[in-house]
Amino acid sequence: MLEGIEALHSDGLNHGALTPENVRVLPDGNVMVAGHALATLRFPSQVELASELRQAGRLVCQAFGISPERDPRAAPRAIEHAAPALVVTARAIAAGNMGSDVRAAISGLRETSGPLAGPERLSLGAGELSSLVAAKRGGAPAGEIRYRGLSGPIAAAGPAPQPAAPPARPAAAAAVPPAPAAPPPSTPAAPVAPVAPVAPVAPVAAAPAPGPPSPSAPTGTTVPPAPRRSWEERMAKPAPEPEDRPTGGPNWLLIGVALVVVSVLGLGGYSIRGLLLGSPTSGGGPGQPTSATTGPTSTPSPAKSSTPTPGKSPVPGAVPTFAPAAAGAVKKVTLISSDGGCTPGSRCSFEVDISFSPAGSRHAVTWTFKTFDPCTYQTTDLPGGSIDADGSWNLTQGHTQVSLPGAKGQLAVVALSGPDVAASAPVLLGSPAC
* DSSP sequence for 293-332: HHHHHHSHHHHHHHTHHHHHSSSPPPPP--S-S-BTTEEE
What does the pLDDT average to over 357-368?
92
Would the pTM of this model clear 0.75, i.e. be above it? no
Q: In which element (H, E) is residue 54 found?
A: helix 46-64
Q: What is the pLDDT of residue 425?
A: 93
Model pLDDT, residue 323 = 93
Q: Which domains does the chain have, with CATH numbers?
A: 2-144 (no CATH), 330-430 (2.60.40.10)
pLDDT digits (tens, 9 = 90+) for 18-46: 788 778 777 766 778 777 766 554 678 88
Return the HEC string of 240-299. HHHHHHHHHHHHHHHHHHHHHHHHHHHHHHHHHHHHHHHCCCCCCCCCHHHHHHHHHHHC
pLDDT in tens, 264-316: 887 766 555 555 444 443 333 333 333 333 333 333 333 333 333 434 445 56
Task: Report which of residues 75 and 335 the model is more confident about.
Answer: 335
Pick from 79, 2, 57, 70: nearest CA to 33: 2
**pLDDT (mean) for 127-133:** 64
pLDDT of 355 strictly over 90: yes
Q: What is the mean pLDDT of the chain?
A: 68
93: amino acid identity, one letter: I
Q: N- to C-terminal Cα distance for the chain?
A: 86
Residue type for 210, please? P
Q: Is 371 exposed, middle or buried (0-12, 13-18, 19+ CB in 10 A)?
A: buried
Pairing label, strands 427-430, 378-389: unpaired
Query: What is the CB neighbour count within 10 angstroms for residue 404?
Result: 21
Beta bridge partners of 379: 372
User: Cα torsion at 376, 382, 387, 389 (round to 10°)?
Assistant: 40
172 band by pLDDT with thresholds 50, 70 and 90: very low
Percent with pLDDT over 70 in the chain: 55
pLDDT of residue 210: 44
Q: Answer for the pair 413, 427: CB distance below 8 angstroms, yes or no.
A: yes
Tens-digit pLDDT profile for residues 58-73? 888 887 778 888 877 8
How many angstroms separate the CA atoms of 247 and 297, rounded? 56
| Average pLDDT score over residue span 127-145 | 56
Which of the four pLDDT bands, split at 50, 70 and 90, describes residue 386? Answer: very high
Of the two residues 374 and 423, the one the predictor is more confident about is 423
Helices (H), 138-239: 161-175, 178-181, 183-186, 195-206, 216-222, 225-236
Mean pLDDT computed over 88-115: 84
State which of 158-167, 168-177, 246-255, 377-386 shows the largest mean pLDDT. 377-386
Dihedral angle of Cα 203, 208, 213, 215, to the nearest 10 degrees: 130
